[in-house]
A and B are shown apart, each in its own frame.
Chain A
Amino acid sequence: MALPILVVLGFAFCVACEFLPIINTYTKGVLIMVGINIILCASLNLVNGYMGEFSVGHAGFMALGAYASAVMTIKWLPASVFELPLAVLFGGTVAAAIGFLLALLSFKTRGDYLAIITLAFLMIVKSAVENIEYLGGPRGMTPPVLTNLPWAFFWVVVTLWIIRNLVYSKFGRAITAIREDEIAANAMGVRVREAKILAFSTSAFFGGVAGALYAQVNFFIDPKSFDIVRSTEILVMVYLGGVASLAGSILGAVIFTLLFQALQDLGTWRMVVMPLILVLLMIFRPRGIMGMKELPWFLPKRELFTKRQP
């Protein structure tokens, strides 16, 4: 029962921070980025960790969510309390729809070729946005700043809750079975196609949600903010924290964001350090800190007493 109490306490803290001068604006910004990164990391972990595929296109879904929500808040919706939740939901839905299409297209391919398809998807999204004048083209857009700490926390909890429930459901079993052996899973009667599409769409939805939250806090988005470098950052978080682990996703996102802030002075050398960490991780600890392990808090009761295969 520790987790619900923690969630309530965390939410109370976030609301307190929003209305009382407990922490300064910079710290608040970093905390919101931690939240966004947790959503990104957990949702990418669904495809890269639990399903064992390799997607490099997560920044593309983030871009879709960011631009969809920016269009909502700038052009379509009047300013109101419902502006942010509607925009975030819309951003997630657009990303999920495109993710669904991409999963349909790429269903037969896997491994290296799936990585190529997600890479092509990322590049197509980026250069398509650059060519659409309605979205500001290469100049980008300036959405209003709407995301605050309680909303970021709310979406983190929703993401983790849904992904946790998905992973330990029947569909989640199917997804992990695909990771272990797709052909064998198919032979055992797992509906591989359905499971893949579900995992992809869910991952894309939360990628879009994170993008929407990011757009509404950053004041400025342009196609360059969602390139391969952004995708690599999310990959570093996933493989740093640990594959197929929600606790690992949180840990990876927190460590990465804090490290990213701490290395601010390095300038462009920071973009050397991050991939270098990724390479070293792959050579010396390929599954990450919490790889394939989970905190008991995130496990359903019936899982607590069964022994997990590493």
Chain B
Amino acid sequence: MLYYIAQQTINAIQLGSIYALIALGYSMVYGVLVMINFAHSDLFMLGAFACLLLATMLPVQLPFVVILLLVMAIIGLLGALIERVAYRPLRGAPRVSAIITALGCGLVIQNTTLSLSPYPKYMPELFNSRTLTFSGLTITTLQILIIGISFGLMVALDFLIRKTRYGMAMRAISFDVRTVPLMGIPVNRIISLTFLVGAGLGGAAGMLYGLAYPQISSGIGILIGWKAFIAAVIGGIGSIRGAVLGGFLLGLVEVMAVAFTDSSYRDLIAYSLLLLILVFKPYGLLGQAPNQKV
């Protein structure tokens, strides 16, 4: 029994690190723009497809790291492009318009993918995975790789936000967006950068997801991406550490729910958890309530 729980915990960390990577993108955008980027989950989905195309369509077999970097760059640029074309014209519009636009952009991406590739695709094995056994517990080298890359990216992001000038500018924008331009900070460029980094992380998460669960379809955006959104909200949307915490928490809850009940209850449990947290702690576990001004 204990082994079973320990084994499931390893799975939970793997799923949780993917959730956390996606949730970071949601939280970063919310931090600077105070807007829910619903299209983020579909960028995650495109990350998996970009990896598939790069791995199968090119005449030469690229090394793993190059594919990862290319996927992050492509999806990151796409994220910045969406911001430029669809969100920037609405910067001054009511908040509701921005949410609707984000929802619409997400659906456009998702259904375009569905129309171009109606059937699920299978990800080739990019990585020669072996199975290791420690006193009864099994872990694959692929799992170690996924968890390692996720942690590496999270640490790099934490460094970017806490130690660099760009990170300082991002934090300044989320602190007070009106004063920041007066200090000579190029707001538009920083916002583009935020989208670039956030979407890039989402793309990387999509690729890692495709390696862990090789069947990919246009539906994984809603299936996995929106769960990551729940993770961001549970942790307190806008908070970077909250996103990571929420990701691992949701991964644990989901894996345990599947391990101990029927797997068809997974969505029900995840969304009920979201509703409960929002009712009792409306700004998430680590989030701060904004000041309402009249």
- A235 & B100 in contact (Cβ 8 Å cutoff): yes
Is B60 at the interface (CB under 8 A from chain A)? no
Q: Determine the chain B residues whose CB is within 8 A of the CB of A235 once the complex forms.
A: 100, 103
Whether B100 contacts A123 by the Cβ 8 Å rule is: no
Contact B268 A128 (CB under 8 A): yes
Chain A positions 274-288 with a Cβ under 8 Å from a chain B Cβ: 274-276, 278-279, 282-283, 286
Collect the chain A residues with CB atoms within 8 Å of residue B90's CB: 282-283, 286
Is there a chain B Cβ closer than 8 Å to A264's Cβ? no
B97 CB to closest chain A CB (Å) equals 5
- Chain B interface: which size bin? 35 or more
Tell me whether A197 is interfacial, beta carbon within 8 Å.
Answer: no
Whether A86 sits at the interface, judged by CB under 8 Å, is no
Number of interface residues of A (CB under 8 A): 46
Q: Is residue B267 contacting chain A, with contact meaning CB distance below 8 A?
A: yes
Taking a contact as CB atoms closer than 8 A, the residue among A111, A131, A271 that contacts B111 in the complex is A271
- B152 on interface, CB distance cutoff 8 Å: no
Q: In the bound complex, do residue B103 and residue A275 qualify as a contact, i.e. CB atoms below 8 Å apart? A: yes
Contact yes or no, B96 A120, CB < 8 A: no
Are B268 and A131 closer than 8 Å at their CB atoms? yes
How far is it, in angstroms, between the C-alpha of A282 and the C-alpha of B93 when the chains are bound?
A: 9
Asked if B104 contacts A279 (CB within 8 A), the reply is yes
Residues of B within 8 Å of A275, CB to CB, are 103-108, 111
Q: Mark B80-110 against chain A: 1 for CB-CB distance below 8 A, else 0.
A: 0000001001100111110111011111100
Q: In the complex, what residues of B have CB within 8 A of residue A272's CB?
A: 107-108, 111-112, 115
Does B222 sit at the interface, judged by CB under 8 A?
yes
Q: A183 in the interface, Cβ–Cβ < 8 Å?
A: yes
The CA of A306 and the CA of B280, in the complex, are separated in Å by 44
Name 28 interchain pairs, CB-CB below 8 A, sorted by A: A48-B96, A52-B96, A112-B36, A113-B282, A116-B36, A120-B230, A120-B271, A124-B271, A124-B272, A127-B271, A128-B268, A131-B268, A232-B107, A235-B100, A239-B100, A267-B115, A271-B111, A275-B107, A275-B108, A278-B100, A278-B101, A278-B104, A282-B100, A283-B90, A283-B101, A286-B90, A286-B93, A286-B94
Closest 6 pairs (CB-CB, A-B) = A275-B107, A279-B104, A271-B111, A275-B104, A278-B104, A127-B267
